[in-house]
Structures are given as C-alpha cells and as structure tokens.
Structure 1
Amino acid sequence: MIIEKTRHTILQKCLWVLVYFAVSFQGFSQRTTEDPSIRVIARVQGSKILLRWAPTTPSSWLKSNKYGYQIQRFTISRDGKLVSPPEKKVLTTTPIVPMGLERWEYIASGDDYAAILAQALFGEGFEVEGMEEEGALAQIVNKSREVEQRFSFAVFAADMNFEAAKMAALGYEDTTIVPGEEYVYKITTAIPEELLKVIPGSIVIKSQQPEPLPAPIDLIAVPDDKIVLLTWDYGMFKSIFTTYYLERSENGNDFKKLGDLPLVNLNDKPDAAKQRMQYIDTLSQNNKEYYYRVKGISPFGEESLPSKVVSAKGIKKLTATPHILKYTLEDSGAVLIEWEFLKEAENEILGFELNWSMQKKGPYIVVSKGLLPSSRKTRYQKLAASNYFTITAIGKNNQKKESLSAFVQTIDETPPAAPLGLTGTIDTLGIVTLKWDANTEKDMLGYRVFRGNLAKEEVSQVTISPINKNVFRDTVQIKSLNKNVFYQIVAVDKRFNMSEYSEKIELKKPDVVPPSSPTFSNYNVSDEGVFLEWIMSTSTDVKYHQLYRQNVQEPDKGWHLLFETEAGTTFTDNTIESNTKYRYAIFAEDNSKLRSEPSTPITIVYKKATPDENLVKGFTAIADREHQKIDLNWRKMPSEVTEILIYKAIKEEKPVLWKQISGSMDSLEDRSVSPNTIYVYYLQAMTDSGSHSVIQTKEIEF
C-alpha cells in the first residue's frame, strides 16, 4: 500500500520533482569530491530543540540506515558563563535507525512526502521515468542512478515533513533542554571505520526563544498577455528556506496556493549567478486584477510569514508592427520617411516615434515624438553622412513594437585633404607618438594610420577603424633588425571618402640593444706573462673592445681596465704577480655607449718557475720487462716540496697528467705499459710557496 501510494505521488503529483532531481539537488544532497560527512541544522521550538541532518553521499546514507546514528550534546555555557569542561550527554543510548515498514503505513497514507520517504527506504524499485536504459552496462548505471534518486528524494521529503524525517532517522527532538544554556550537538554514524569513514557533523545553538521565520522579500509581478511573471529574492534566505509556496487571491484577502507542491530553485548551484526565483502564472483573461504573496518553507516544514502583497493584471499584447516603406531626400536637405501599419490596430496604440542613429546597431535616439496613430510619414532635417531610422509603435499598455532599420545616406563624393604637419618621436620603450594638423572639413570622421619598416615598401594600416584625434600612439619592437620605421596618415570623412596619403616620415629607433659579446679564442701562460686572443663582437656599431682583469684573491678591488682597442684581437699581460689567481673578461661598447654582456671569463693562476733549476735531481726511468713495468726514481725532495706532478706521453703525442703525488715520495711504478713503445715522462715539483721547478724529462723504450 505504501509503495503504491508513493508511486502514485511521484508519477502523478511530483513530475517537476522528477525532472529537478535528474539535474541536481540543493540542501543536504549537494555532494562534492570530499570525504563523506554529516551536515546538521537546528532550530529552537518552544521547550525543545529540533535537529535535522543528512549524510552527503548516497552510499553513506545507505550504510547509516543500517548501522544508525548517535547524538551527543555538550553544554558549553549556562546563563552566559562558560562551562569548563563542557558537560557531555549521550542522547541516543543506542544508534537510531529508520523505523520499520509497518510504522510508516499510517503517516504515508496521509502525507505525500512521508510516502516518498517510505518508498525511498523500503520500495523494491525506485526509477525516475525517462531515465531507464537497456543493456548490461546500462543496468549498472541505472542501479547507481536509483541509489542517488532514493537518496535525493529522501532528503527532500525529510525537509518537507519533520515527523517523517524523525522516522527516517534524519531528525530528532531534544526535549531535555534548559533555558539559558548553550549546546554543541554532535552527530556521528555507527558505521565501522574499516567499512566507511564518515566525518561527524556538529552545530552550536542556544536554548532561547527563537525569532520567527522572516517573510520573503522583494516580490515583483510583471504582467504580459494572459500571464504574470512573479519573481522574488532567493539569495537572501537560501540558508533558511528550502522551498516556497506562492499564493494568489482575486480580492486581496482570500489567498490560495498555486499548486499542491512547493517551489524549488532549479538553478541553485554554488556558482549560480541568479539570486532570484521565478514563476509564471497563466491567466484565463486579461484586464483582471490578481493579488500575490509568497511564503517560505524551512527544512523543519515550518511556514514563514507571507511576503508583501503585489498585484497585476494581464495585458493584451501589441501584435501589429510598423514597417518603413521608403524615404525621399528633399532639396532642402531633409528626408521624408514613410511607413505602413495595420489600420485596424490603430486603436491599440497611442502613436508613433521616429528613432535615429549613425550606426545600424545603435544606440538609437528618439528624434520625433507624439506622432498620431493615423500618421504614416514624417520629416527629419538634421541628416548626417550616414543615417539609420526606425519607427516605433507605442501601445496603450506601454508596449512597444519597433520596425526594422532603414538606411539613409546623403550624397558626398569629395574626399578630405591629405593631413599635413606629420611629426613623431620614439622613446626607449618603443612607444611612438605621432602628431599632425587637424583637418578642417565639417564632415570629418577620423584618420587612418599606416606603418612600414622599409623606405620603399607599401605601408600597412595599423588602426582598426578611423580615430577621431590628430594624435596617435603606436608601439614598435626596439630590439629588431630594422633601425627605422615609416608612417603616413590618411583622412576619412563620414561618407568614408579617403584623402591622399600624407607625406611619409622616417623615425629612427633609439639604440637600446647592446652589442653582442666578444669571445676568447686562445690564451697561453708563460714566464713572460699571460697571452690572450679573442674574436671581436659581430655587431656593426661597435666602437671599442675593453679587456678587464680581476685579482680573484682580492675581489673587493673589483675589475681593472687593462686594454682598450678599436680593432685589436690580442694582448699580453706582463704586469701580474707570481702565485696569484686572475680572471679576465672582455666587453664590446657601441657608439651609443651601450656595453655588451661580458665574454665567458678566463681564470688562470700565474706561477713562475723557481730559480733553482736543480730542485729535481736523479730522475731515472728503468724498464723492468720481466715484471712488465717501468720504475721511476728520483732523489728525495727538499721539505718545501709539497707535491709532485708526473705527466706521461707516448713519444710524439701530447702529454697528459698521469700522477699527482706527495712531495715526500721518491719512486713510482708504471704498470700500464706495452712492449715496443717509447714512453716520455715529465716530472715537476711544486713548493709550498706556489712556485714550481723546471720540468725534468725522461724517455725510455719498453
């Protein structure tokens, strides 16, 4: 019986609800990608507090119906004083779950929303018509949709019937409250956490006499032909009212609801721009006054006070539209506009208005008012080069019907004179400022600006439409290969006649591009100093190349200019000190004194050989072919020798550093040798002062 009752309600009386829930649901059933949670609201009602809650996902709702909900209350203040620690009270000794099917029959038989809740909880099937699909995959999809539909309908119905909400374990009455106390209610599910984790919900409320529900505001009635559009503010009280009832009266006193079902905002989404609700009431006749008011419904099923009453009556729609037939240009400079309009519709209008604009898209201004309903022509004197006209019929109910536009153009084939006095400048940001003498023609529309990059190329237009000032600002790329830019101006009148080009001017771009960097190509360190060689900058406006040196060990002294040249590519620095690290960089500077980025620096350590050329003594190389090695020996070095560098090479090949050993050693074995090969060994001693010995060389055939 319950299921049949609910199916009848859903299919016959809640069709709009079906469509609505196929799109979205506001209130509790708004879901996000966040973890499931409990949403809670509360309201004081006399000596009790009403609680309403709901999970945020269909799956958590289903599981909560099985495992139930637990309610805890914490008293946090009493008569304005803080209670510390808060006093905890468990209001549900056992988790509450929806009542059994047999308990629903009585309430469901007398209330559609209770029947919907019973169907959502216990019905064998719950499908929204028009949503069924065929196929195995479609059946899975439909099953998922069915769960969502059950959940959405259940939450909506609970908002409309608080008694049913309590039976569905979505509402609770706390009758143990004490006046002057403030509570925190915490709602949790009894679902095992390993099955599903649901974030508890909570709310704070004082046990005091509640304020009455506010009346909806800003109800407006907009009449039309046998209909009235009713709209009211929704955003102000969206957190208070779930639905609305709209009421109508024929005498302003006796109001009846428009429809059995409450109205829901179908466009309520978090990012919805509209903050008003709308409803269209269909009338049986025009010119009869109707009165309207609206009431809000809270999630606890409470009705608010009614809004202010507004009234409206249907108005007959103006159906006839004027049509401009022709125009005639007269010798006096005026234009005669003629139009047609249904003779039998003259009694529906107050008259006509003539509208004018220079552009087809407008805006149009009224240039002639109060034309009689019998009028079919009028004159207009103040013509421009381009004119667009429309005729508007003004209805008795302030309705308007406007004709299509008609274009009227005066005759003018004389172009304006070419602009004179064109000058311009370019700043370092590439901003071009052009100025020229304003034309004196009365029908001037504006100017077109043209630009070119080469003296002999055809210039291109840079303005999208004519500009009305004799000043123009353009932007050019300073850092480009073109050093100059060229401009010309053309004047345009209101008939779009174009003048000859103005004189072409050439503007030089400011030099803000530094030259390219030179590059070191070679260097050599010898006893005579440091020899440097570089490749010059490739920029054509370079005036100097400047070589700088920095003592790395004294960075605070900065860089020192060593050498400046216009065309030189080499330099030998012989003013350096031994055992010192230096860094070299070279720059290019152009005629505008713009300096390039530095070349990649070269860092060297300058060390002169020690005067004692016999620091290395007794250096020998002996081939031990039996053990496949070459033994290197030398006399023990003096104590100031800190390390020994040994270079190795096959004869007539470039030597490479082979070993870097302590200065206390006096022998070394080389087992990386091959028969019938001539090896050359180079030995150099390094002292603690940073100087080095003369390199000793030994050649041996293995």
Structure 2
Amino acid sequence: MFKCVIVLFTYGISITGFSQEDNEKNEIKVIARVQTDKVLLRWAATTPSSWLRGNKYGYLIERYTVLRDGNLLNPPEKKSLATAIPMPLEQWKEAVEKNDYAAIMAQALYGETFEVEETQGGLAQIINKSREIEQRFSFALFAADLNFEASKMAALGYEDVDIKNNEEYLYKVISLVPEELMKIEPGIVTIKIKEAEPLPAPIDLIAVPDDKNILLTWEYAMFKSIYNAYFVERSENGIDFKRLGGDTPLVNLNDKPGAPARRMFYVDTLSQNNKTFHYRVIGVSPFGEQGTPSEVVSAQGIKKLSSVPHISRHEFDNKGGVIINWDFAKETENEITGFELNWAAQEKGPYKVVKTGIPASSRKTTYAEPEPSNYFRVTALGKNNQKTTSLTAFVQTIDSIPPAAPIGLLGTVDTLGLVKLQWEANLEKDMLGYRVFRGNLDKEELSQITIDPINRTTFIDTVQVKSLNSSVFYQIVAVDKRFNMSDYSEKLRLKKPDVVPPSSPVFKGYKVDPKGIYLKWINSTSDDVVAHKLFRQRMDQSEKGWLPIFETDTITQYIDSNIESGIKYRYAIFAEDDSGLQSVPSTPITITSQTSTDEDLIKGFSLVADRVNKNISISWRKLPEDVLEITIYKSKKDEKPILFKQMPNSTNKVIDNSISPGNTYVYSLKVITKQGNHSKMKTKEVIF
C-alpha cells in the first residue's frame, strides 16, 4: 500500500456524464466508440457504493450480434467477452511511474488515505469536505475519463478486437455484485461497425483582449457528449503551438445539473501588451482521444483606459435643451477616439446611446429633447474597443402643470363581482399613467386601489357582490412623469348584480272583529324593496296552497274581510326588491275568524223581580245543542254594561242577588256556538 497527494493545477476536476448528475439509482452507464479494427467500451457505476462493490466483485461484459449484412438475427448471437476486475496493486507500479492519471486511479482504489491538496478552484474544496469514498469515486472517474489505459486497469474500460465490419452489436455490462448485497442495473449500448470517424474540431473560439490577459471562450454544450476536457495551445508565430498548463487538460466546472453550461472559458495571463498571440483548443474524449484542433484565433493584450469621464454640471439652454459638461484628463486624450452620451428614464436603466461622434477634445454636449426625468452617463471610447463610463447624473426639467382629468369613464360589473373599467387616453406627451380610486358610498372619499400608476386605459377590479352596498363608485386620476396629478374624473356609479334577497318583514300584531281580520306588520329594512306581498292559507284544506291577497309598497296594515266565520287562516308576508329577489317569509301567524250571525238562538228570555226575596230571576228556554256558551252582561240603566256570567248550555236560569231597591237593571244575553259564531244579543230591563 502507498500514499500520494493529488495536486490540481487547473480549475478543478470534472466528473463526466457517468456521474455528473445526482443519481441515486444504482446502475451502470456505458458508452462505446469504433476505432480501426476494434470497439472501445467505457462504463461506470452511478453511485459511490455501487462502484466500491463493483471493485470487489467485478463486471461481466457480454456482446450480442443483432445485425449481420443488414439482416436482423433472431435470436441475437450472444458472446461473453470478459470478466473485468481492477488489477491488483502490484501490477500498477510501472503505470504509476509513467502516468499521473494511473497514479490517481491507483490511489483511489488502494490508497490508505486519500488527500487532495488544493492550489486553485473550488470543486476540490467541496470534495475535501465530502466522505472519503465519494472522493475516491470522483477522482477514479476523472482519471478514467482522461486516460483509457487507466480505465481498463481499473475495470472501467475494455477493447473488443474481435469485430466484423458487416455486423452491429449490443454490449451489456453486468455487475457481478450479488443481488442480496445490492441490486445494480446493467448498462447497455449498441454500435454499428463502420469506418472510424474523426473527432470534430471545437468551434466558435473567440479571443477577448484585456490588459495583460486574453479571455478565450468556445462552444461547450454542442460537443458535451464527445469531449469532457480540452487542451489550450498558444503560439507566438502561428505555427509552433505549446500547451498551456502542460499535460493537465481543462474541464468545465460551471456545468451543473439544472444549470448546464453553454461555453468554456480560459484566461491567459500575459507578460506584456501589444504583442500578438495565436490560440487553438483541442478536445479530449472519455477514451483519452484527442480531437482535431480548432481554428486559430489571434489577439494581443491592450492597455486599459487610465481615465474616466466625470459629469461636473448641467444647465438648460433657451430652447429647453440640457447642456451636459464633464471632465476628462487632457493627457489621456490620445487613448480614446471620442465620447458618447447615454440616457435613461430611470437610474437602473436601460440606457441607450443618444449622441455619438463627440470629439475626444470636447467636454460638453447638448441633449435637445429631455424628458421630465433624465439620467445621463458619458462614456469614453478607447482605441482598442475599451470603454470607461462616468457615474450617473440626474437632470429634472421644470414642470408644474398637471394633465387634464380623464374622461369617458365606463364600466360593468358581472355576477361574480368582476369589474371592467375603461376610459379615454390623455393626450399629454409626458403621461406616466393613471391611478384608480374606489368607494362604496356616493358621499364618501374614494380610496386609491392602484399601487403605482398604470400605463393603460383599462382596469379590472373585483368587488363583493354579497354585501350591504348595492353600488360601487370609481374615479380616475391622470399622473405625468413629474408626478403632477390631474383632477378626478367624473364619478362612475356601477350597480352591483343583486344576489342578496331583502330582509324579511315582521308581523307586529293582529285583531279579530266582526268586520274581518286586521293585520299589522313592520316593512323590510332593505332600501331596494319595491313591494310587500301578503299571502293567506286556509287551514281546513278546502283551499290548497298560499293565495296572494294584498300587495303594497309602503303600507303596513290590512283588513282581510273576505273570509268565512270560524275558519282558521295562516298569513305570511314577503318583501321583493327591484331585482325580483324575494325575501324569506315572515314567521307565519294563525288566526281564527270571528264574525256575527243573523240567527236568533235565544228564546223565552224573561226577567222577574222578587222584591220579597230581594233578587231578580233571569231565565230563557232550553238552547240548541250546538250552543257552546251563554254570556250575560249587566248594568244599571244609562251605565256601561259589564260581564255578569258565562255559563254552559246546560243552564237556562240565573238568580241575581246583587241588587238594590230603587234601580232599573238592564240584562243582555248572547250565545256562542261550537263553530265560534255569535248570536244576536237580546236585551231587557227591569225596575226593582
């Protein structure tokens, strides 16, 4: 066993397509490439734990011939090619001495410890904080990507040399880890044997010069499945190229799951400016192959502009234009070609160029058509496409005239409470937008419901339809770019769809007399009621259902005279609003009618004064059986009668002992039948 320290001199390390994504599923991924007279296979487990067990138990490589001479073989011809397991430690010594990637692979497989010394980049620092098995797994795949010989020694690569040009194969890499320990899905790849294709040249290489450095960038995403690393080469004469960074290739650390990188970047630091250098890049495949070099680009370092413009003051001319003045070092005028003026309506931009071609010797310029609010920057243009830009200067024009009040305000409210407003656009050129105000009462002050001025002439609002307010009110105010506010528009009243029935009326009282049933009620308190409807129901089932008997708007009483005597009736009253909605009925009341009858039921009514015994005898004949009760009223002559007696039908005589001599007494009789009818009253008087 041995110990080594891995030093990375590039941006960091890369884990290729086998494990770049956070894949928790235990499986094997396989890729293949045809070379002259052989097929190269590369595979890897997708998790550290499955890789670790694969190192112990190994892999089985199977090949299935599926096509021959264009004909499908059924079943395919199966052939077991090899069983791969990492080579023992003692067989790595020679490879480790010659190859850094073999050393990394051997340390990942067999090292007692696994340390990473960080000199540049952030990914190595992250790996330092991970578990050691994850470090070993990551670096093993990295080494396998960059050196095919190391991948074969680590049981992550294989060469199939027994191939035929007229056949197509399916390769299957099977983990030999027992399923009871871990289930690992096999990896499959198909390939057609044909003439080996050269690897493509990287494209879109661009060199961006700066002060003593050159930024190189090229297309990455298009060749991501082909190349996993790149060499950058530089030349001073365009012929003899030397690799930057030695034999350590560059990998893309910006390529992350969920945020794939589009381009590769590399910065070459220069010892001097104004010297031309030539660059090209070469891709490295997961099989360790180097592709065709890219086209050559050339660039040289350029000196940065040493001066920055500074806006010193501004003023208005007699035409309303803004004169912008700035300072710039006179001795650095030879470094620039001139100036340009940038303008924006807001400090954060976006800025646009409003004046170009300003000479390098100029220190002021005029902007003829300023807005109410203006933000200016002056940019110095270097001779090498460099720029320096001043800080922002704010210029505000004088404007105290508000826009006109908006006109033509219209709107609608649907049954869901969705309000749609529209109005005519103002004609002022400095319009910023409109503010919308809303209220629930005509006399109240409306409240603003827009946070910022809106730049359109329509607005959508929502209101509560089921509320006590039947209307909603709107007004619009126009705002210019100096935040001057117009007068309010005409107030718009919108009637809400009526979905709330009115409140119910309430019966206040009733009275029964011979003329009929006298009813009183309290009207509904809702302000949109247009009618109160009184209904009656006869309880003896001779009539079915409720019958309307009276309708009014404001009257609160009614005499129901169209009734029969002695019948029970139920009464209910409803309120109806101007939308046709009807309230819940009042609590019904049940009343029995009481009307007089013309039938003369009292016969033989007589009064006898017994002055000896000091009483008056009141008698009458036997009454019919349907008489329920006999009522007798008594009074002295010219006085108000009072109830004297109430007796059942079984009695036909009463003695009055409560009398005094020298008075005239008046007695009245009336009977009530079982049907509730009252007979005619009989009255007689006697002198005692």
Question: TM-score, normalization: structure 2?
Answer: 0.69
Q: Are residues 511 and 341 of structure 1, via their aligned partners in 2, closer, same or farther at CA, if it must alter by over 3 Å?
A: same
Tell whether the 8 Å contact from 1:26 to 1:269 is kept in structure 2 after alignment: no
Q: Which residue of 2 aligns with 1:173?
A: 159
Secondary structure at the aligned position of 1:397 is classed as coil
Task: Name the amino acid aligned to 2:331.
Answer: E
What do the CA deviations read for 1:427-466 (whole angstroms, capped 9, x no partner)?
Answer: 4454434455655656554432211122233222233333
The answer to which structure has the higher helix fraction is 1
Return the alpha-carbon distance in structure 1 between the equivalents of residues 186 and 422 of structure 2: 71
1:395 aligns with 2:382: yes
1:169, CA displacement in angstroms?
1.4
What do the CA deviations read for 1:398-448 (whole angstroms, capped 9, x no partner)?
Answer: 222221222222333333444455444334454434455655656554432
Q: Which residue of 1 aligns with 2:509?
A: none
Q: Are residues 236 and 421 of structure 1, via their aligned partners in 2, closer, same or farther at CA, if it must alter by over 3 Å?
A: closer
Q: Which residue of 1 aligns with 2:100?
A: 112
Q: Are residues 477 and 291 of structure 1, via their aligned partners in 2, closer, same or farther at CA, if it must alter by over 3 Å?
A: farther
What do the CA deviations read for 1:21-51 (whole angstroms, capped 9, x no partner)?
Answer: 7xxx333234645431111111122112111
Q: Which residue of 2 aligns with 1:82?
A: 72
Q: Which residue of 1 aligns with 2:213?
A: 227
1:359, CA displacement in angstroms?
3.0
Tell whether the 8 Å contact from 2:30 to 2:188 is kept in structure 1 after alignment: yes
Q: Which residue of 2 aligns with 1:275?
A: 262
Return the alpha-carbon distance in structure 2 between the equivalents of residues 297 and 174 of structure 1: 21
1:29 aligns with 2:19: yes
Q: Which residue of 1 aligns with 2:229?
A: 243
- RMSD (Å), alpha carbons: 3.6
Q: Are residues 284 and 194 of structure 1, via their aligned partners in 2, closer, same or farther at CA, if it must alter by over 3 Å?
A: same
Return the alpha-carbon distance in structure 2 between the equivalents of residues 458 and 478 of structure 1: 21
1:487-506 equivalences under 5 Å are: 487-506=474-493
1:572-651 equivalences under 5 Å are: 591-593=578-580
Return the alpha-carbon distance in structure 1 between the equivalents of residues 431 and 35 of structure 2: 76
Q: Are residues 430 and 206 of structure 1, via their aligned partners in 2, closer, same or farther at CA, if it must alter by over 3 Å?
A: same
Task: Name the amino acid aligned to 1:114.
Answer: A
Tell whether the 8 Å contact from 2:16 to 2:141 is kept in structure 1 after alignment: no
Tell whether the 8 Å contact from 1:3 to 1:118 is kept in structure 2 after alignment: no
1:81, CA displacement in angstroms?
0.6
Return the alpha-carbon distance in structure 2 between the equivalents of residues 566 and 122 of structure 1: 106
Instruction: Tell me which structure has the larger Cα radius of gyration.
Output: 2
Q: Are residues 53 and 420 of structure 1, via their aligned partners in 2, closer, same or farther at CA, if it must alter by over 3 Å?
A: closer
Q: Equivalent of 1:100, from 88, 108, 111? A: 88
Secondary structure at the aligned position of 1:27 is classed as coil
Secondary structure at the aligned position of 1:104 is classed as helix
Task: Name the amino acid aligned to 2:480.
Answer: D
What do the CA deviations read for 1:654-678 (whole angstroms, capped 9, x no partner)?
Answer: xxxxxxxxxxxxxxxxxxxxxxxxx
Tell whether the 8 Å contact from 2:381 to 2:387 is kept in structure 1 after alignment: yes
Q: Are residues 439 and 236 of structure 1, via their aligned partners in 2, closer, same or farther at CA, if it must alter by over 3 Å?
A: closer
Q: Which residue of 1 aligns with 2:310?
A: 323
1:467, CA displacement in angstroms?
4.2
Q: Equivalent of 1:42, from 22, 25, 32? A: 32
Unpaired segments of 5 or more residues in structure 1?
132-140, 518-536, 548-560, 569-586, 598-702
Q: Which residue of 2 aligns with 1:125?
A: 113
Tell whether the 8 Å contact from 1:357 to 1:364 is kept in structure 2 after alignment: yes
What do the CA deviations read for 1:105-157 (whole angstroms, capped 9, x no partner)?
Answer: 111111111111111122111122479xxxxxxxxx98972111111111211
Task: Name the amino acid aligned to 2:157.
Answer: G
What do the CA deviations read for 1:264-311 (whole angstroms, capped 9, x no partner)?
Answer: 111222312422111111122222222211111111111111112222
Return the alpha-carbon distance in structure 2 between the equivalents of residues 218 and 595 of structure 1: 78
With 263-272 and 408-417 compared, the bigger mean Cα shift is at: 408-417
Secondary structure at the aligned position of 2:131 is classed as helix
Return the alpha-carbon distance in structure 2 between the equivalents of residues 456 and 206 of structure 1: 85
Tell whether the 8 Å contact from 1:545 to 1:564 is kept in structure 2 after alignment: no
Q: Equivalent of 2:473, from 466, 486, 500? A: 486
Secondary structure at the aligned position of 2:95 is classed as helix
1:537-556 equivalences under 5 Å are: none
1:562, CA displacement in angstroms?
6.3
Q: Are residues 229 and 449 of structure 1, via their aligned partners in 2, closer, same or farther at CA, if it must alter by over 3 Å?
A: same
Return the alpha-carbon distance in structure 2 between the equivalents of residues 444 and 28 of structure 1: 59
Return the alpha-carbon distance in structure 2 between the equivalents of residues 173 and 546 of structure 1: 102
Q: Are residues 188 and 150 of structure 1, via their aligned partners in 2, closer, same or farther at CA, if it must alter by over 3 Å?
A: same
Tell whether the 8 Å contact from 2:282 to 2:291 is kept in structure 1 after alignment: yes
1:194, CA displacement in angstroms?
1.6
Return the alpha-carbon distance in structure 1 between the equivalents of residues 113 and 397 of structure 2: 75
1:343-492 equivalences under 5 Å are: 343-420=330-407, 422-436=409-423, 443-468=430-455, 471-492=458-479
Tell whether the 8 Å contact from 2:21 to 2:257 is kept in structure 1 after alignment: no
Return the alpha-carbon distance in structure 2 between the equivalents of residues 318 and 142 of structure 1: 42
1:57, CA displacement in angstroms?
1.7
What do the CA deviations read for 1:144-196 (whole angstroms, capped 9, x no partner)?
Answer: 72111111111211122212211111111112222211111111122222222
Secondary structure at the aligned position of 2:199 is classed as coil
Q: Are residues 162 and 149 of structure 1, via their aligned partners in 2, closer, same or farther at CA, if it must alter by over 3 Å?
A: same
Task: Name the amino acid aligned to 2:177.
Answer: I
1:544, CA displacement in angstroms?
9.7
1:329, CA displacement in angstroms?
2.6
Task: Name the amino acid aligned to 2:482.
Answer: R
Q: Are residues 327 and 117 of structure 1, via their aligned partners in 2, closer, same or farther at CA, if it must alter by over 3 Å?
A: same
Q: Which residue of 2 aligns with 1:213?
A: 199
Q: Which residue of 2 aligns with 1:634?
A: none
1:480, CA displacement in angstroms?
3.7
Q: Equivalent of 1:297, from 254, 272, 284? A: 284
Task: Name the amino acid aligned to 2:314.
Answer: Y
What do the CA deviations read for 1:612-637 (whole angstroms, capped 9, x no partner)?
Answer: xxxxxxxxxxxxxxxxxxxxxxxxxx
Secondary structure at the aligned position of 1:128 is classed as strand
Q: Are residues 103 and 562 of structure 1, via their aligned partners in 2, closer, same or farther at CA, if it must alter by over 3 Å?
A: farther
Q: Are residues 66 and 347 of structure 1, via their aligned partners in 2, closer, same or farther at CA, if it must alter by over 3 Å?
A: same
Secondary structure at the aligned position of 1:28 is classed as coil
What do the CA deviations read for 1:537-565 (whole angstroms, capped 9, x no partner)?
Answer: 99987889999xxxxxxxxxxxxx96576
Return the alpha-carbon distance in structure 2 between the equivalents of residues 105 and 397 of structure 1: 54
Tell whether the 8 Å contact from 2:67 to 2:168 is kept in structure 1 after alignment: yes
Secondary structure at the aligned position of 1:236 is classed as helix
Q: Are residues 327 and 84 of structure 1, via their aligned partners in 2, closer, same or farther at CA, if it must alter by over 3 Å?
A: same
Return the alpha-carbon distance in structure 2 between the equivalents of residues 366 and 378 of structure 1: 13
1:244-259 equivalences under 5 Å are: 244-259=230-245
Secondary structure at the aligned position of 1:157 is classed as helix
Secondary structure at the aligned position of 2:41 is classed as strand
Return the alpha-carbon distance in structure 1 between the equivalents of residues 534 and 383 of structure 2: 90
Q: Are residues 283 and 563 of structure 1, via their aligned partners in 2, closer, same or farther at CA, if it must alter by over 3 Å?
A: farther
1:66, CA displacement in angstroms?
1.7
Tell whether the 8 Å contact from 2:23 to 2:47 is kept in structure 1 after alignment: no
Tell whether the 8 Å contact from 1:449 to 1:461 is kept in structure 2 after alignment: yes
Return the alpha-carbon distance in structure 1 between the equivalents of residues 240 and 485 of structure 2: 72
Unpaired segments of 5 or more residues in structure 2?
120-126, 505-523, 536-543, 552-573, 585-688
Return the alpha-carbon distance in structure 2 between the equivalents of residues 564 and 218 of structure 1: 92
Q: Which residue of 2 aligns with 1:583?
A: none
1:327, CA displacement in angstroms?
1.6
1:52, CA displacement in angstroms?
1.3
Q: Are residues 44 and 333 of structure 1, via their aligned partners in 2, closer, same or farther at CA, if it must alter by over 3 Å?
A: closer
Return the alpha-carbon distance in structure 1 between the equivalents of residues 575 and 369 of structure 2: 68
Question: TM-score, normalization: structure 1?
Answer: 0.68
